[in-house]
Amino acid sequence: MRVRLSKTFTFEAAHFLPTFPEGHKCRRLHGHSFRVDVVVAGEIDPAVGYLVDYGAIKAACEPIRVQLDHHCLNEVPGLENPTAEMIAAWIWARLKPGLPLLAEVIVHETCTSRCEYRGE
């Protein structure tokens, strides 16, 4: 049986988007309550009845959450231009080695705006 599991983590952070046009509100320093959905997918092992322990997904995400929470994202190495797209790819690159079944990273920047990233 093929399934998709999702685990969510949140972080509060500030950023500014240096590539946006002068005068654009997002070019100024501002903050968000980010929500990230981490999705793994695959065939469950019939002997155990599950794909991945949710606790393992949470443990893989925790160092990333700590690195981003209450920071200016522009100061995080690799996130000098922290658009939702770049944040999603950055998180993917850090999770994939420890979560080989990673299928998708969804970064919710606001209640109505998100980026869905499924790797290259």
* C-alpha to C-alpha distance for 99 and 77, rounded to whole angstroms: 22
* C-alpha to C-alpha distance for 50 and 66, rounded to whole angstroms: 28
Active site residue 85: no
* C-alpha to C-alpha distance for 38 and 71, rounded to whole angstroms: 21
Active site residue 15: no
Residues 12, 24, 70, 85: which is the catalytic one? 70
Active site residue 26: yes
Structure tokens belonging to residue 15: 């950023």
One-character DSSP codes across 54-116: HHHHHHHHHHHHHHHTTEEGGGSTT-SS--HHHHHHHHHHHHTTT-TTEEEEEEESSSS-EEE
Active site residues: 26, 70, 109
